[in-house]
């Protein structure tokens, strides 16, 4: 029996990001786990600063995000979820495949997506 993929979809409060993720997930028709991201005041910082300082600097619910199982795929959309997806990938021993919709301009490590 083939292994079922565990897909994390990183959702934030931006309606456009949510709509794009839902469109992709509905089209793929695969089960996914919705991960709600809540930002703090530091979310206005450019991505390269957030990435240099640890990828989770701008997240309110950082400790709530880690689940028991490591995902096979992380799907994210928009500038602010980019460092979060990257941070998850670096935290896990078996790195998930990262998919980012709408690449942010002022960021580093784009080659990992």
% of the chain beyond a pLDDT of 70: 82
Q: Whole-angstrom Cα distance, residue 39 to residue 70?
A: 22
Residue 2: what pLDDT?
60
Query: In whole angstroms, what separates CA 32 from the centre of its chain?
Result: 13
Residue 36 tokens read as: 């709600």
- Please measure the distance between the N-terminal and C-terminal CA atoms of the chain and give it in whole angstroms: 29
Helices and strands (H and E) in the chain: how many: 3, 4
The backbone torsions φ and ψ at residue 4, rounded to the nearest 5 degrees and listed phi first, read: -80, 130
For 40-86, how does the pLDDT look when each residue is reduced to its tens digit (9 = 90+)?
A: 898 888 887 888 888 787 888 766 666 667 888 899 998 888 888 88
- Residue 76, classed as helix, strand or coil, is strand
Instruction: Please determine, for residue 112, whether its predicted confidence score (pLDDT) is greater than 70.
Output: no
Cβ neighbours around 28 below 10 Å, total: 12
Q: Distance between CA 9 and CA 7 in Å, rounded?
A: 6
Token pair of 98 as six digits: 């990262």
Confidence of residue 89 (pLDDT cuts 50, 70, 90): confident
């Amino acid at each position: 029996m083939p292994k079922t993929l565990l897909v994390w979809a990183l959702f934030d409060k931006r309606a456009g990001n949510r709509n794009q993720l839902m469109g992709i997930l509905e089209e793929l028709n695969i089960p996914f786990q919705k991960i709600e991201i809540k930002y703090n005041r530091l979310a206005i910082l450019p991505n390269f600063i957030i990435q240099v300082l640890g990828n989770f600097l701008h997240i309110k619910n950082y400790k709530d995000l880690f689940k028991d199982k490591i995902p096979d795929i992380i799907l994210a959309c928009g500038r602010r979820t980019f460092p979060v997806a990257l941070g998850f990938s670096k935290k896990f021993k078996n790195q998930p495949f990262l998919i980012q919709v709408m690449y942010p301009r002022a960021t580093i490590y784009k080659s990992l997506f």
